[in-house]
Amino acid sequence: MYRSHTCGDLRVAHNNQEVILSGWVQGIRDKGFMIYVDLRDRYGITQLYFDEESTPKDIITKAQKLGREFVVQVKGKVVERASKNPNIPTGDIEVLVTELTVLNNAQVPPFTIEDKTDGGEDIRMKYRYLDIRRNPVKNNLIFRHKVAMEVRKFLSDGGFIEVETPYLIKSTPEGARDFVVPSRMNEGQFYALPQSPQTFKQLLMVGGMDKYFQIVKCFRDEDLRADRQPEFTQIDCEMAFVEQEDILNVFENLTKHLLKEINGVEIENFPRMTYDDAMRKYGNDKPDIRFGMEFGELNEVAQHKEFGVFNDAELVVGIAVPGAASYTRKELDALVNWVKRPQVGAKGMVYAKCNEDGSFKSTVDKFYDQDDIANWAKITGSKPGDLICVLSGDANKTRAQLSALRMELAERLNLRNPKEFAPLWVIDFPLLELDEETGHYHAMHHPFTSPKPGQLELLDTDPGAVKANAYDLVLNGNEIGGGSIRIHDKEMQATMFKHLGFTPEEAKAQFGFLMDAFQYGAPPHGGLAFGLDRLVSILGGQETIRDFIAFPKNNSGRDVMIDAPAFIDDDQLKELSLKLNIQE
């Protein structure tokens, strides 16, 4: 037996008990006549001590040779401390060691195993197993487990069945790029790793499973943006015989349950906003509504004056930045430069200070008088002390730019309180999205999403105007889930593929099995998928998903700890009927 208790167990009630503990040496203080060792395991830290008077000499000698992160087992007696440490749960006691066994030595770790470590990101990823010993990472992984357990409990109690769908499936050119897996037994052929179990969960609905869920890994071979992982985890759900309202209710309740059980936060009802409103008010389909700074459209009051920039713009739109009237000229110049960065892409920014005395001072005082700016203030909701920031140009682009500015300023002004939770349903998404490069429409959600009733005809005349039975759940400015009511009719699915540019042959080759299935009695159905990595990180009050993944990959898709991917043997390639085709 390696231990009678963990390093987090012992209290004054254990006083005088003989105990056995095992763990890692967190730190050693050698006072000459006394040696103190902090022994750590997953559950806590217990102070051990070795006393020149009562501890045998050979044990003292052994203790003096201990180093950080050595793995040891000790026997000893629990002793109530004279000077207690209120900062740790075991702080009322310590253990007087009578036996000491070194279970494993340790080299000096490449960074300190402390909450605030001296190790940079790269070195911590290479030695992720050491990083996991640190409380922040360890606690994130335990937190993730708790969230996943609560999700499963809630859904299972609600009659959902977790069904495992296959990982070795078929590649489809639709959507993002697939990871593929060569099949040795089927020469020249490949499986694909699923980007989501979408078609399988729909087939489970056709199969009468009624309520399905799965916490499941998904894969996308995308060029990695910051905080994207090639493999990620979804809470994937689907229900039959439901309308949008049924689905919103179930998953609103799930999210409420999590907020309550995990964060102790109770939220009545989640507000809902159409996609169009979200774009108009926040320039973003996943607005953070924890703070105001709603967009004020200024075309009516700012155009038809002598300021050409605004007159030529499709949209003139501004926000009130609370308390920012006090920004210095230097700070304001920096802000203008910030929106002009290529990542944001604005050509410039007009701003107006709302002075405490009710007057205004703008960068366009030449064209607009005090009454004009007062109108801007009214429309953007600016109060004395605020700064009005105004962008203009093409409507879509300008909204995106102002949204970026709004989020940046909210960060700077600490308006994004991670302990506050503001969920929001965004509904009525467009069915299709125009790819500006190719001029083709593609499915905004995915090709299985149903258009709103009665809008099918619009597909021929104004495809961009068709709205879908599609919805996103947004939490604190992040999309944590999204879904739709699906098409369950073979003809409508064929029509949809046609509008997405599939020939009937292509549609049949790729999704024939699904359309075939629809012929044998498909029920109305719909669903939703949460991104677990994102959900967990936001519930955990953070936004970096990598911190909630045990063994994440870096931005080149590499696992720097195990050094993968890697080259494989020629024999292995040959067995798979493959050759490398590397461009010199």
Burial category of 474 from C-beta neighbours within 10 Å (exposed 0-12, middle 13-18, buried 19 and up): buried
How far is the CA of 290 from the CAs of 19, 124, 421, 476, in angstroms?
A: 50, 33, 7, 7
Where in 80-139 is the site for its own copies (CB under 8 A)?
A: 103-107, 109, 127-133, 138
Provide the 3-class DSSP secondary structure of residue 567.
coil
Q: How far apart are CA 557 and CA 554, in angstroms?
A: 5
The region of 230-238, 373-381, 427-435, 472-480 touching its own copies under the rule CB under 8 A is 230-238
Residue number, 315 or 514, with CB nearest to its own copies? 514
Interaction of residue 190 with its own copies, rule CB under 8 A: yes
Contact between 186 and its own copies by CB under 8 A: the answer reads: yes
Site string for its own copies, 524-553 (x = CB under 8 A): x------------------------xxx-x
Pair of tokens at residue 307: 């300021």
Place of tokens 């920039």: 309
Range 238-277, binding its own copies (CB under 8 A): 241-243, 246
Q: How far is the CB of 259 from its own copies (least distance, A)?
A: 20
In this structure, are residues 98 and 78 in contact, taking their beta carbons and an 8 Å threshold? no
Q: Of 554, 559, 532, whose CA–CA distance to 143 is shortest?
A: 532
Q: Which of 148, 259, 267, 336 binds its own copies (CB under 8 A)?
A: 148
Peptide bond before residue 197 is cis, with ω within 30 degrees of 0 = no
2 in contact with its own copies (CB under 8 A): yes
Contact 287, 281 (CB under 8 A): yes
Contact call for residue 500 and its own copies (CB under 8 A):
no
Q: Does 180 bind its own copies (CB under 8 A)?
A: yes
By CB under 8 A, name the one of 196, 233, 362, 398 that touches its own copies.
233
- The interface region with its own copies, picked from 81-89, 159-167, 268-276, 362-370 by CB under 8 A, is 159-167
Using the minimum distance from each CB to its own copies, give the nearer residue, 243 or 462: 243
**Separation of alpha carbons 381 and 341, rounded Å:** 27
Q: What number of residues does the chain have? A: 584
Least separation in angstroms between CB 445 and its own copies: 21
According to DSSP, the residues that pair with 530 across neighbouring strands are: 235, 481
Regarding 187 and contact with its own copies (CB under 8 A), the answer is yes
| Pick 126 or 281: Cβ nearer its own copies | 126
332 Cβ contact partners less than 8 Å away, ≥ 6 residues apart: 351, 387
Closest CB to its own copies among residues 194, 393: 194
Q: Which residue has the tokens 């042959």?
A: 505
- Contacting its own copies within 18-47 (CB under 8 A): 22, 24, 40-43
Asked if 226 interacts with its own copies (CB under 8 A), we say no
Residue matched to tokens 């001590």: 49
Binding part of the chain for its own copies, among 206-214, 347-355, 450-458, 464-472 by CB under 8 A, reads 206-214
488 binds its own copies (CB under 8 A): yes
As a whole number of angstroms, the distance between CA 27 and CA 198 comes to 51
The number of residues that bind its own copies (CB under 8 A) is 126
At 225, list the tokens: 């943006």
| Smallest separation (angstroms) from its own copies to the CB of 285 | 28
Q: Rank residues 412 and 442 by Cβ distance to its own copies and give the closer one.
A: 442
Q: Does 559 bind its own copies (CB under 8 A)?
A: yes
For residue 282, give both structure tokens: 């926040």
